[in-house]
Amino acid sequence: MDLRHLRNMLAVIEEGSLGKAARRLNVSQPALTKSIQRLEEQLGVRLFERDSRGMKPTLYADSLKGYAKAASVGMAEAESRIRGLRDGTEGFIRIAAPPLIATEFLPNVLVRLAAERPNLQAQIVSQNKNLFTDLLEGQFNVVVAMLYDEFPSEGLTKHWLFDDRLVLVMRADHPLAAQRKLELKDLVDEKWVFTSADTWSNRRVRLYFEQSGLPLPKARMESRNPEILKSVIKISDYVGVVSRLGVESELANQSLKSIEINSLLMQRPIGIVLREGEPISPALKAFISIAEDLGKKRSDHSFLL
């Protein structure tokens, strides 16, 4: 059954005449008459009777009226939904990221995305392990993560957003904080807290000291949780190397001080990872565009070591 015929029938019922309905629909009266006749032929019943006041719906037309309205409304909603999906104003995207990026970078992206596209739904998954394999298996639409050297070579494509860095961190009134220039040898005998030995950050710090010909400082404390390291550093003379992204709020309120380590070993490229060859929906394109824009606006004002 052609939805146009149903809409035409409704117009005739509501207007009470073929002429008024034709003008409302912006079609000719003969074309409207033909549409009603085709619908009657499909149903095998008469839908209207002519009287002195115009077109009077029959019992069959009255019975069909509710279904025709529901079909028209449903199709209008479906068309609107498709337009929303096509334009990226509606839809659903599932985003995964490690905890640090999920809490320190993605919220700004998502708030702006929600402001620009309020009907778009986004779900965030925060996890450290199996991000890329889970993406390949279709559990997420996109991953925002550090682009490790161990990044899978097949099935995924990556797009750089910005560079985070490992930075030397200390409390704001630490004796070293007032110095404008520090050398690495000045830090060997300091009290250190490190991330656990099997982490990417710890390996990079070890390699940096080795390449500088200096022994790695003795770790007084170790933890995989950067929040624990920050808490220790805030209330003590301990120093540590942590992600700048993870201490930006503390740097802003001046509870911590950071000094950038001038080495490519400390560079942490953050980017978007997608399944290779898979079409990108308009909704996902909107998310990526905002992430790219916010990534470009990031800057680093630390001192160099």
Q: How many residues does the chain have?
A: 305
Region 92-162+270-299: CATH code? 3.40.190.10
Please state which of the four CATH numbers 3.40.190.290, 3.50.50.60, 1.10.340.30, 3.30.565.10 is assigned to the domain occupying 164-267.
Answer: 3.40.190.290
Residue with tokens 């070579």: 153
Nearest to 66 by CA among 2, 4, 1, 9: 9
Residue 136: CB atoms within 10 Å: 18
Nearest to 264 by CA among 226, 208, 304, 302: 208
pLDDT per residue over 155-203, tens digit each? 899 999 999 999 999 999 998 888 777 788 888 889 999 998 888 899 9
Give strand ranges (E) for 98-155.
120-126, 142-146
pLDDT per residue over 213-234, tens digit each? 999 888 888 998 889 999 999 9
Parse the chain into domains and list their residue ranges: 3-87, 92-162+270-299, 164-267
Q: Which two tokens stand for residue 55?
A: 């077109």
pLDDT per residue over 136-155, tens digit each? 888 899 999 999 766 666 88
User: Yes or no: is domain 3-87 CATH 3.40.50.2300?
Assistant: no
pLDDT per residue over 40-77, tens digit each? 999 999 999 988 778 899 999 988 988 888 887 777 66
Whole-structure pTM over 0.75, yes or no?
Answer: no
Residue 286 has pLDDT above 70, yes or no: yes
What does the pLDDT average to over 208-213?
92
Residue 120, classed as helix, strand or coil, is: strand
What does the pLDDT average to over 268-282?
90
Identical fold between 3-87 and 164-267? no
pLDDT of amino acid 301: 47
Using the 8-state DSSP alphabet, how is residue 266 labeled?
G
Residue 100 has pLDDT above 50, yes or no: yes
